[in-house]
Chain A
C-alpha cells in the first residue's frame, strides 16, 4: 500500500465522516420540513432561503446553552453516555461500500473504508454497542424517567436484535458471505436481494425502526410518559450528541438496508454506463444512486414517524417475541427449502 493510497483512504474516511454529520444535521431540518408538509404546514422558513440555515442556528444554540450536570448524577458516566452514543453511531459507516472501485488519475481506489470479511457482524456489533450510550446516560442521570427510558431502550434493542439477526441469516444463506462488498457485487445490475428476500426485508426494516428508536418504537424517549426518556437530564451539546447519534444511526441503517437488500450502488444499465462514461464517472453515478436510495429510506423513516402512533410497551414486546422471531425462523426454513428445491431441479 503506497503513500498515495493511504492518503486516499484518509480522505475517504474524512469525507464519509463529514457526510454522516452533514446528513444528520440536515435530517433534523428535513424531519421538521417533512413533518410540516404532512400536517399541511410550511415548516422552518426563516433562517436563510427555505430555512436552509436552520440546522446551523440549531447547532449554535446547542453549543451556547448552559451545560448542566445534575448534582446527583455520576459526572464521568454522564459525559461518557452521549460520547459513546455518537462514537458508535459514527463508526458503523466504516464497512459500507459506497461505490465500485473508482479510478482517479491512474489510482484505483475502493470506495469503502475497509472491506473486512465479517462486515455484517461488525455492523451488528456496533449497533449492539449503541445501546450502551443510552443505557449509561440514563443510568448516570440518577433520574427515574431517564432510567426507565434507558431500560426500555436496552430491552427493546435486545428483543429486536434477535429477529434482525435471524432475518439476516436467511439473506446470508443466499449470499454465502458476510462481506458487504461481496454482497453488493452479487447484486450487479437489477439483481437485487429484495426479489429473493421480501419477507426478510420486511422483518429487517421493522427491526431497524426499533433499533434506531424511531416511531412507532420510540418508547425510550416518549415524551408523553417519560418527560424526555433517557436524555431528560441532558442539556447543551450533550443532548445534541444524543439527537445527532439518532439521526446518524438512521442514516447508517438506511445505508445498510440499501446495501443488503436494495442493491447498494447497483442500478439497471450500469455496465452500459461503465462502458460509455469510463471508470471515473460511472462509479460516481453509482454513489449517487446509493445515496438516492438512502435518502428515500430516510424519507420513509420520517413518513412513518408522522403517520403511525406509538406502540404500547406490551404490544412492542408481543410483536418482537411472538410475531417477528417465529416469522424470521419461518423465513429461514422457507429460504432453505426453496433454494434447495431450486438447486435440485436445476435452476
Chain B
C-alpha cells in the first residue's frame, strides 16, 4: 500500500557481517563516544549553593508590596481571593486607625493575609486581579517544610521588608 506521508522507510534486516559480529569495532566506537563525554563540562547544578537562572516571567513565591513611602499597598478588597482558582488566599480586613497612616496606604487594610502554598498553583491570576498592584509572584521557589500547617504563609512571610528608614 502506498504510504500517505511518504515518510515510511522499509528497513532491510541483513545478517551481520564478520566485522559486525566481532563486536570490537562497535565497542571501540562506543568507548570513543563515552570518552568524549568524560572531558565534557558537567551539566549538574549543585542546587542549594548554585541556582538555575529563572526566566523573566517566572512565577515563584508571592510578595505583598509596599509603595514608595513604605506603606502596604493592599487594601483587602478580596479580588485576589476571588480570582484564585485554587482558593488558596484568605484574608481578614480591618479599618485603619488614626496614627497608622504611615503603615497602610488605604483606609482599609488586610489584618490577616494568608496563602496556602500547598493549594497555590502559581497561575498568577491574583497578580492580574489586583487593582492596587499589591501582590506579585516575583519570589523564589517555595522552600520545602515538614508540616502542612507551615505551608500557610501569613503576612510575616509575604509582606516585603520595610524600606530603609
| Binary CB contact string for chain A from 299 to 322 against chain B (1 if under 8 A, 0 otherwise) | 000011011100000000000000
Quick check: B27 and A38 within 8 Å, CB to CB?
no
**Among A34, A41, A45, contact of B43 (Cβ-Cβ < 8 Å):** A41
Chain A residue nearest to B40 (CB atoms) is: A40
Per the CB 8 Å criterion, the residue count for chain B at the interface is 14
Quick check: B44 and A38 within 8 Å, CB to CB?
no
Quick check: A37 and B38 within 8 Å, CB to CB?
yes
- For B34, the chain A residues whose CB sits under 8 A away are 38, 303, 306-307
**Among A39, A45, A304, A308, contact of B37 (Cβ-Cβ < 8 Å):** A39
A-B CB pair tally, cutoff 8 Å: 35
A116 within 8 A of B: no
A36 within 8 A of B: yes
| Binary CB contact string for chain B from 28 to 57 against chain A (1 if under 8 A, 0 otherwise) | 001101110110111110100000000000
* Cα distance A277–B31 in the bound complex, in angstroms: 39
Quick check: B42 and A41 within 8 Å, CB to CB?
yes
* Cα distance A164–B44 in the bound complex, in angstroms: 41
- For B40, the chain A residues whose CB sits under 8 A away are 40
| Binary CB contact string for chain B from 6 to 38 against chain A (1 if under 8 A, 0 otherwise) | 000000000000000000000100110111011
- For B44, the chain A residues whose CB sits under 8 A away are 40-42
Per the CB 8 Å criterion, the residue count for chain A at the interface is 14
* Cα distance A3–B7 in the bound complex, in angstroms: 83
* Cα distance A41–B38 in the bound complex, in angstroms: 9
Least Cβ–Cβ distance between B120 and chain A, in angstroms: 32
* Cα distance A308–B26 in the bound complex, in angstroms: 10
| Binary CB contact string for chain A from 15 to 49 against chain B (1 if under 8 A, 0 otherwise) | 00000000000000000001011111110010000
B32-87 contacts to A, CB under 8 A, are 33-35, 37-38, 40-44, 46
* Cα distance A39–B39 in the bound complex, in angstroms: 10
Least Cβ–Cβ distance between B31 and chain A, in angstroms: 5
Quick check: B38 and A308 within 8 Å, CB to CB?
no
Least Cβ–Cβ distance between A235 and chain B, in angstroms: 28
- For B46, the chain A residues whose CB sits under 8 A away are 42, 45
- For B35, the chain A residues whose CB sits under 8 A away are 303
* Cα distance A37–B40 in the bound complex, in angstroms: 8
Quick check: B42 and A307 within 8 Å, CB to CB?
no
Chain A residue nearest to B30 (CB atoms) is: A307
* Cα distance A38–B27 in the bound complex, in angstroms: 15
Quick check: B30 and A308 within 8 Å, CB to CB?
yes
Quick check: A307 and B33 within 8 Å, CB to CB?
yes
- For B43, the chain A residues whose CB sits under 8 A away are 40-41
* Cα distance A34–B39 in the bound complex, in angstroms: 11
Least Cβ–Cβ distance between A283 and chain B, in angstroms: 33
Chain A residue nearest to B35 (CB atoms) is: A303
* Cα distance A43–B41 in the bound complex, in angstroms: 13
Give the residue among B33, B38, B43 with the most A Cβ atoms within 10 A. B38
* Cα distance A37–B41 in the bound complex, in angstroms: 9
| Binary CB contact string for chain A from 66 to 78 against chain B (1 if under 8 A, 0 otherwise) | 0000000000000
Least Cβ–Cβ distance between B7 and chain A, in angstroms: 29
- For A39, the chain B residues whose CB sits under 8 A away are 37
- For A40, the chain B residues whose CB sits under 8 A away are 37, 40-44
**Among A34, A41, A308, contact of B27 (Cβ-Cβ < 8 Å):** A308
- For A304, the chain B residues whose CB sits under 8 A away are 27, 31
- For B37, the chain A residues whose CB sits under 8 A away are 37-40
Quick check: B31 and A307 within 8 Å, CB to CB?
yes
- For B27, the chain A residues whose CB sits under 8 A away are 304, 307-308
* Cα distance A228–B35 in the bound complex, in angstroms: 28
Chain B residue nearest to A202 (CB atoms) is: B24
Quick check: A38 and B38 within 8 Å, CB to CB?
yes
Quick check: A36 and B31 within 8 Å, CB to CB?
no
Chain B residue nearest to A45 (CB atoms) is: B46
- For A42, the chain B residues whose CB sits under 8 A away are 42, 44, 46
- For A34, the chain B residues whose CB sits under 8 A away are 38
- For A37, the chain B residues whose CB sits under 8 A away are 37-38, 42
- For A306, the chain B residues whose CB sits under 8 A away are 34
Q: Which 9 pairs show the lowest CB-CB distances between chains A and B?
A: A307-B34, A42-B44, A307-B30, A38-B34, A42-B42, A37-B38, A40-B43, A41-B44, A40-B42
Given A41-B43, A303-B31, A307-B34, 9 other A-B residues pairs in contact with their CB atoms under 8 A: A36-B42, A38-B38, A40-B37, A40-B41, A40-B43, A41-B42, A304-B27, A304-B31, A307-B27
Chain A residues packing against B (C-beta within 8 Å) = 34, 36-42, 45, 303-304, 306-308
